[in-house]
Chains A and B, each alone.
Chain A
Amino acid sequence: MNDTDNRINLILDIGEMLLSNGADVNRVEDTTMRLSSAFEFRDCQVHAINSSIILTLTAPGDTIITRARRITRIDTDLDKVDELNDLSRKICGGMKDMACIGKEMERIRNSAPYPPFMIYFAYAISASFFTLFFGGSWQDMLYSVPIALTLRFVKVRLSGFNNNKMVDNVILSAILTFMALVGKRFFPVLDSDLIIIGDIMLLIPGLAFCNSIHDMVMGDTISGVLSMFDAVLRALSIAIGYVVVWAVMGRLL
């Protein structure tokens, strides 16, 4: 692999990592363009949507190169987005040593600002305080915690073999409805509605929704519509899980 290939790969790696960690498309295109001109490529054209990046540029020596990357799963790690942003700013500022950049990329790829138990903790905090937010009592807050922890546990397990977020959401919302209804059966003091709402907030595709607004306003209608539809589908899949469990349990309990 020669120098030009390495550089194009690096640009695409950064773009891919940005996109798959929850950056909006506008930012991905912008960063890719800036990096390309920092590496002295000309006539850079980039087209990114939620699931792919296509990059065409003219390398020194007038060879025209086109590369594409397919993005399959989008997770949310805004810290990586932040760090990649810093890195690309450094590269545009004159940091051109490929070995150095490679080391930095490796560090960002493996970075995790929080240990896994912190994420469990955050799930518990969010769910219980959303329950309070929507008017729940302290008993409801308390009961939403084990549900949130279970959701996180199942979500981590599911991501091992399942790449479809819709299926994820159906399963997760079914589990949470089941647990809330069972809780209501054994502890009548609980309000299962508020517990379910508090925990549902964890599944709601907030990032897809926020990104889609950004993309649409910034003139990227295709990506905006794609993310918005993604958000709607995921909200629907939450509904499917809920409806199925309710239809079965509502009769039994």
Chain B
Amino acid sequence: MSIIMRPEVIQILSAGIAGLGFAIIFHIRPKHLPVTFVGASLGWLLYLAAKQVWRANAIGMIFAALGVTVYSEIGARLFHMPVSVIYTPAIIPMIPGGYLYYCMRGFVTDSQEDFVEYGSMLLEDTLSIVLGTMIVLTFVSAVAQKRKRTKENRR
């Protein structure tokens, strides 16, 4: 099987393209689209890699969210654009829409196991994204406040 047809590669590329579609839906300017494509693909790439190394879904998600947040903080400063412009389309492929659906399906088909299993996975993924993002943002906001204080002291 050629490398391009591997399911992982297809997933990474389709995450990127779907993120790109979202960038257009959010009216992000054409010149910023390549940055969002890379961000969305990067998130899923990191997820698959970290999941492979640690064999745990939650750690994969935390790493992916962490990587995307770092990427968007750096990208925002390099390309002079708001952080959310890079962050939001990149995080969207990671949002567990699949689990949300299977959880709902478990609910209507009266399948307790499905409802509980997918519901807890939904919660796990969501919390992991929040955690990964928080780790980076805490640092960013601490640095930003320190800088602000030194500026005020100088005045």
In the complex, number of A-B residue pairs with CB atoms less than 8 Å apart: 150
Quick one: given A125-B17, A217-B141, A218-B137, are A81 and B25 in contact (CB under 8 Å)?
A: no
A80–B87 Cα distance when bound, in Å, is: 16
Residues of A within 8 A of B7 (CB): 135
- B104-A79 in contact (CB<8A): no
Q: How far is the CB of B24 from chain A (nearest CB, A)?
A: 4
B39 to chain A, nearest CB (A): 12
Over the window 58-96 of chain B, the binary record of Cβ atoms lying under 8 Å from chain A Cβ atoms (1 yes, 0 no) is: 000000000000000000000001111101100111010
In contact, B95 and A201 (Cβ under 8 angstroms): yes
Residue of A nearest to B36 (CB): A78
Is B57's CB within 8 Å of the partner chain A? no
**Which single member of B82, B101, B133 contacts A213 (CB below 8 Å)?**
B133
Chain A residues at the B interface, C-beta cutoff of 8 Å: 22-24, 27, 76-82, 85, 112-114, 118-119, 121-127, 129-130, 132-135, 193, 196-197, 200-202, 204, 206-207, 209-211, 213-214, 217-219, 235, 238-239, 242-243, 246-247, 250
Seen from chain B, the residues whose Cβ lies within 8 Å of a Cβ on chain A are 7, 10-11, 14-15, 17-18, 20-30, 32, 81-85, 87-88, 91-93, 95, 97-98, 100-102, 104-105, 107-108, 129-130, 133-134, 137-138, 141
Q: A78-B26, A126-B25, A206-B88 are in contact. List 4 more A-B contacts (CB 8 A).
A: A81-B84, A82-B85, A193-B101, A204-B100
